[in-house]
Chains A and B, each alone.
Chain A
Amino acid sequence: MNRNWLYVFSSGILEIFWVSGLKHSETIAGWIFTVAALACSFYLVVLASRQLPVGTVYAVFAGIGTGGTVMVESLVFGEPFKLLKILLIVVLLVGVVGLKMVTANTEKATT
C-alpha cells in the first residue's frame, strides 16, 4: 500500500462527504466544510494521477464515490433501499470503471 493509493482512497472518502454536503448542508460552516472537502478530494486525485495511471485512479475514485454515496444515503439519511435502483447504479458503475480502464490501457499502448 504506497502513498499514492492512500491519496486515491482518501479522495474517494472525501468525495462521499462533499456529495452529502451538497445535498444536506444548511449552515455556513457546513458549506465551508463541503467546499474544502471538494477541493481536497480533487487535489488528491491530481496528486495521485502524477504517479499512477489516470484511468485507474479515476475509476477507483468514482467507484468509492458512487458506492459510498449510495450506502451513506441508505444508512445515514434513511433513503429507502430499492433493489432495481441499486442494480442500475451497479451497471452504471461497471460502465464508468470499464470505460476508464479501457481508455487508460489504450493511452498506455499509444505512448
Chain B
Amino acid sequence: MAWLALVGAGCMEVFGVINIKRLSQQKWDALVYMMFTFGLSFYLLTYAMKTIPMGTAYAMWTGIGTVGAAFVGMVLYGESKSWKRLVFVVLILGASVGLKFVS
C-alpha cells in the first residue's frame, strides 16, 4: 500500500508540473489543479514515509517525478527522445525496482 502511495505521489507530481507549464501559458484554472495535485502528492509521500525509510521514499519520489516529466515532455511537448535520455530513464526505473525489493 505504501509503495502504491509512493507511485501515486510521483504521478501527482507530474500532473503538478504539467499545470505549472499551463499556468505559464496563462491558463488560470491550472492554478487550482496545481495546488490540488501537489497537495495530494505531498500527502501521499507523507503516508508512504510512515513505513518506507525517508531516504528511499524521497529518492523514488524524485525519480518517478523526473521520469514522468520526461515522458510527458516527449509525448505531449515533442521533447527529444535521444538514447541518452532513455538510458537515464532505464537507470532510474531499475534502481527504483531494486529499492522496492531491498527495503
Contact = CB atoms under 8 A, between A and B. Distances in A.
A101 B24 CA distance: 22
A85 B102 contact: yes
B85 A89 contact: no
Contacts of A106: 79-80, 82, 85
Interface in B72-95: 73, 79-80, 82, 84-85, 87-92, 94-95
B95 to A, nearest CB: 4
Interface residues of B, number: 36
A70 to B, nearest CB: 3
Given A22-B42, A22-B46, A66-B62, A95 B92 contact: yes
Q: Secondary structure of the B side of the interface?
A: helix
Contacts of B87: 98
The listed residue with most A CB atoms (<10 A of its CB), out of B55, B63, B94, B96, is B55
Interface in B34-89: 42, 45-46, 49-50, 53-56, 58-60, 62-63, 66-67, 70, 73, 79-80, 82, 84-85, 87-89
Interface of A: 19-20, 22-23, 38, 62, 65-66, 69-74, 77, 79, 82, 84-85, 88-89, 91-96, 98-100, 102-103, 106-107
A103 B54 CA distance: 27
A105 B67 CA distance: 17
Given A96-B92, A99-B70, A22 B49 contact: yes
A77 B53 CA distance: 10
A62 to B, nearest CB: 5
Contacts of B96: 92
Contacts of B73: 103
26 contacts: A19-B58, A23-B46, A38-B42, A66-B55, A77-B54, A79-B54, A85-B55, A85-B56, A85-B99, A88-B95, A88-B102, A91-B98, A92-B63, A92-B92, A94-B88, A95-B66, A95-B90, A95-B92, A95-B95, A96-B62, A98-B84, A99-B92, A103-B70, A106-B79, A106-B85, A107-B79
